[in-house]
Amino acid sequence: MSKGTVDIVGVPLDLGANIRGSNMGPATIRVADLHRQIEVLGFATEDLGDISVPYREQIAKADRSQNYLSVIEKIVAQLAEITKRSIEAGHIPLTIGGDHTVAIGSISGVSSALHAKGKNLGLIWVDAHADLNTPETSPTGNIHGMPLAVVIGQGHKSLTSIGGTFAKVKPQNVALIGIRSIDNDERELCKSSGIRYFTMREIDEKGLSKVMEEAIQVASKDTDGIHLSFDLDAIEPLYAPGVSTPVTGGLSHREAHLCLEMIADSKKLLSMDFVEVNPMTDIDHKTAKLTVDFILSALGKSII
């Protein structure tokens, strides 16, 4: 008997970042045996293909302003429609990226499906970076540094309004895990945002198990399910070299699995995205294979 259906959608997007290559992430994750291994766990899979994303060289100069904002808006709006339909069908949408900008679309779609029924979404965001910049605070203007701000209702209006003009997640229902590289102005946003953030120091001091217990509680309080947004740069580069913006001092291989296993054990996971896999910086497809292993843990794979 099937445990349910996982809808897989790729978003080959690297327009949100300066560093290129994460647009090849969806292909390399699929090639790393994603579908078969999900099906071995007892799930059905439905691959919805990739959203069409132009290369930078194909984009007209008029559409390159504000770091490709108008192009990105269309792409994440398409993704929002896809993840909304997936939730409405009772499926588990799995978005594979692509830079972290894609989370604007995946979260907006899931949240809008719940919002239509008077329900709320919780969020666990695993990342080396806070992704809380706004156009006013970002030193680069790159949109992949803004998606968490967008889904709590801050930033470009054309992005915050995707899926409806409401905050897609309440700040008090956001757990941000693994941060260790934050811009100066973004640091103040993090402190004042109302989200519960866990720096690597806090993880070191408390241990990941206690951190995850609290994170799941935060994301579950008065919500009807959790979205997981997992940036592979949260992992120590020794284990996951194939990312666009590596930062040393991250989660270990085993800590990451524990994080995902505990989310699976909560039985509250509705949807997820895994992002920022960059084959251009990977070694022997190590990060793509690791990503598949992480997805399986989130879906409930256990040691015994």
144 catalytic, yes or no? yes
35 catalytic, yes or no? no
Name the nearest CA neighbour of 131 among 72, 83, 174.
174
- φ, ψ at 230 (rounded to 5°): -120, 115
57 catalytic, yes or no? no
Among 14, 131, 183, 255, which one carries the catalytic annotation?
131
Rounded Cα–Cα distance for residues 144 and 151 (Å): 12
| Sheet with strand 174-179: strands edge to edge | 44-50, 5-11, 92-97, 269-275, 226-231, 122-126, 174-179, 196-199
100 catalytic, yes or no? yes
Among 50, 236, 273, 276, which one carries the catalytic annotation?
276
**Tokens describing residue 214:** 């609290």
115 catalytic, yes or no? no
**Tokens describing residue 198:** 């866990």
Among 144, 156, 227, 257, which one carries the catalytic annotation?
144
129 catalytic, yes or no? yes
Among 91, 129, 156, 227, which one carries the catalytic annotation?
129
Rounded Cα–Cα distance for residues 144 and 142 (Å): 6
Rama region for 123: left / alpha / beta (φ>0; ψ in -120 to 50; rest): beta
Among 14, 50, 73, 127, which one carries the catalytic annotation?
127
Among 91, 100, 227, 257, which one carries the catalytic annotation?
100
Among 14, 73, 233, 273, which one carries the catalytic annotation?
233
Active-site residue numbers?
100, 127, 129, 131, 144, 231, 233, 276
